């Protein structure tokens, strides 16, 4: 199986990732755990617009994402994605389609939880377009990393 298909299969199997942005105030990395939905290698997640990660992306769209597998005895598989993030409106049809077809029921976008969150801050989607991926797997006693420029 080629690297891209293995990476998509890995993304489909999981649902949480760590996204790292460049903090706009301190110029240092800032990482946050988010729940994602993917369409092929493209990652989508939702956030309150007032969150620091959204402000960081608005100033510098370069991000990295790490998705970890589960393992108790050997190092876990992991997928690292380097890419460019775009802030999308809550009403973005493509983001809604991906989220409701992959991770959440169709009623989720208009749920009470989302409506309560919107009272505090506008809700936005973030779309991450990969530029480079690396799939780390434990094979033959070593961690092997396969890299693909997208």
- The pLDDT score that the predictor gives to residue 54 is 96
Q: Give Cβ neighbours of residue 51 (< 8 Å, ≥ 6 apart).
A: 32, 121
Tokens 């489909």 -> residue: 12
- 21-33 confidence digits (pLDDT tens): 999 889 899 999 9
Kindly tell me if the per-residue pLDDT of 121 is higher than 90: no
- 82-103: per-residue pLDDT in tens? 999 999 998 899 998 998 887 7
Residues 11-22: pLDDT tens digits? 999 999 999 999
- Average pLDDT in the 53-68 region? 96
- In this model, does residue 75 exceed pLDDT 80? no
Lowest mean pLDDT among 14-18, 47-51, 126-130, 146-150: 146-150
Phi, psi dihedrals of residue 56, rounded to the nearest 5°: -60, -45
Q: Provide the mean pLDDT of the chain.
A: 88
Rounded Cα gap, residues 150 and 148, in angstroms: 6
**E strands in the chain:** 16-22, 29-39, 42-48, 62-68, 78-89, 123-139, 142-149
pLDDT at 68 over 80: yes
Q: Which residues pair with 69 in a beta bridge?
A: none
Tell me the domains of the chain and their CATH numbers.
3-149 (2.30.110.10)
Q: Of 139 and 64, which is predicted with more confidence?
A: 64
Q: What is the per-residue pLDDT for 110? A: 74
């Amino acid at each position: 199986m080629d690297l891209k298909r293995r990476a998509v299969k890995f993304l489909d199997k999981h649902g949480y990732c760590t996204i790292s942005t460049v903090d706009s105030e301190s110029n240092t990395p800032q990482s946050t755990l988010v729940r994602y939905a993917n369409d092929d290698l493209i990652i989508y997640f939702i956030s309150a617009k007032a969150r620091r990660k959204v402000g960081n992306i608005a100033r510098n769209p370069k991000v990295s994402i790490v998705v970890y597998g589960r393992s108790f005895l050997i190092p876990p598989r992991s997928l690292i994605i380097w890419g460019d993030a775009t802030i999308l409106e809550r009403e973005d049809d493509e983001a809604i389609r991906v989220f409701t077809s992959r991770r959440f029921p169709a009623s989720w976008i208009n749920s009470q939880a989302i409506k309560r969150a919107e009272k505090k801050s506008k809700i936005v989607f973030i779309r991450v377009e990969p530029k480079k991926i690396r799939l780390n797997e434990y094979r033959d006693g070593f961690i092997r990393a396969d890299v693909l420029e997208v």
